[in-house]
Structure 1
Amino acid sequence: MRHLSAVCLTLLAAQVAAADLAAGRAKAEQVCAACHKIDGNSDNPQYPVLAGQHADYLRRALHDYRNGSRNNGVMLPYAQALSRTDIDNVSAWFASQPSRLVSRP
């Protein structure tokens, strides 16, 4: 089990490392920044903070918005405008940003 976990973490790290953060930032600036801000730290409670989220969570959410299995009329056209590579890059960009959110005990 420990070996399987190590393999999964290695594969996930390789996938995030393969993403192009500069391209993710550029695409986020074009598509996402108006609502979520360029670094993903939205100060409007209507739009979630994306900074610091797990890249795989963000990637899955964008794919689900794009294919309609996650229903959101606002996000649908934005997600549909992104290629798979764009989604990987944008997800990695937001995941790499420090979040303004804090954990409370």
Structure 2
Amino acid sequence: MTIKNLAIAPALLVLAAALTACSGGDTPAEHSAADRGAGHSSSSAGLPAGHIAAGEKLASTKGATGQSCVDCHGAEGNAPIDDTYPKLAGQYYDYIAHALQAYRSGDREHALMSGQAKELTDQQIADLAAYFGSRKSNLRDLHGAH
């Protein structure tokens, strides 16, 4: 080993230790579907950690429009009542969180969603994103479909 390599070695050890601490030592394959939506305190949406159980309850609670999430998006977010409504089950946490934040702020508009999201708190958005992100998805890849 050269003197130059010896000088770099301690820095590499510190970097490796930091990366291991940040990742919690888990590999992506070790995460279940339920983990995908849970505890995203470092998400790009800047929200508190979401709770799947609270999101499940909230998804069935009637909102400002008199509708609940599952009234339009179907049980567990897999069966929308209209082809133009998205399937939410298995969707990325950040996608759901950002969409709800945009509806709440008025940056994104929809006749029903804008009213539904207007009254949601950051915690409720995080909970809904955690819940729907944790559900088994019926989404399918249409790439190559004819």
TM-score by length of 1: 0.80
Between the aligned residues of both structures, percent identity stands at: 35
Letter in 1 for 2:40: Q
Unpaired runs of 5+ residues, structure 2, are: 1-14, 24-35, 42-48, 62-67
Aligned equivalent of 2:117: 79
- The answer to whether residue 60 in structure 2 is matched with residue 29 in structure 1 is yes
The 5 A counterparts of 1:1-105 are: 10=23, 14-15=39-40, 18-30=49-61, 31-44=68-81, 45-104=83-142, 105=144
RMSD: 2.5
Q: Secondary structure at the match of 2:77?
A: coil
Q: Which stretches of structure 1, 4 residues or longer, exceed 4 Å deviation after superposition?
A: none
TM-score by length of 2: 0.59
Q: C-alpha distance in 2, partners of 1:80/1:95? A: 21
Letter in 1 for 2:74: K
Q: Could you tell me how far 1:14 is from its partner in structure 2?
A: 4.5
Q: Could you tell me how far 1:81 is from its partner in structure 2?
A: 2.3
Q: 1:21 to 1:14 in 2, by over 3 A?
A: closer
**Over alpha carbons, which structure has the higher Rg?**
2
Equivalent residues of 1:25, 1:38 under 8 A apart: no
Aligned residue pairs: how many?
Answer: 98
